[in-house]
Amino acid sequence: MGMYASARGWVEIDFSQRRSAEEIIQRHHDGHYSGGWAFPAKPFNWTLYLFYGGDLREGELPWLRAQVTELAALPPADEDGDRPRGLFVITDERGNAVVWQVRDGVVDELPAPSLSWLGE
């Protein structure tokens, strides 16, 4: 059957990057776990928050991480050089927790034992 992990988090992007973000997610569409992605229904203010939340088989975490990595690598949207940024919390059935930090064009994975209560 396999073990499951819970993934929840967001990436902050510029509104001008929405089409690129949608293309990344569509390229990886799997008809099942892709349903965890959500865009705001109506834009407001200046930042677009792209969310993901769902329980998936641990073996599918690289599938999700690949999308987050591609989103992180989107080029700056303006001359300020602002890149996508965000945070994802991943917990598993064994009580482990890590965070994926999205910043400066990359995704860093760090242990997050203080967040393991989210997986209980």
End-to-end CA distance of the chain: 20
CB-count burial class (<10 Å; 0-12, 13-18, 19+) for 78? exposed
Residue 80's pLDDT is what? 87
Collect all residues with Cβ–Cβ distance below 8 Å to 35 and sequence separation of at least 6: 54
Mind listing the pLDDT tens digit for each residue in 40-89? Answer: 988 788 889 999 999 999 999 999 999 999 999 999 988 888 899 999 99
pLDDT at 76: 94
More confident residue, 77 or 8: 8
Threshold 0.85, pTM exceeds: yes
List of domains in the chain? 4-119 (3.30.70)
Question: What percent of the chain clears pLDDT 70, i.e. is strictly above it?
Answer: 99
Q: Where are the beta strands (DSSP E) in the chain?
A: 4-13, 37-38, 48-57, 85-92, 97-103, 106-111
**Do the strands 4-13 and 85-92 form a parallel or antiparallel pair, or are they unpaired?**
antiparallel
Mean pLDDT (the chain) is 94
Residue 20 has pLDDT above 90, yes or no: yes
Helix H or strand E segment including 35:
none
At residue 1, does pLDDT exceed 70?
A: no
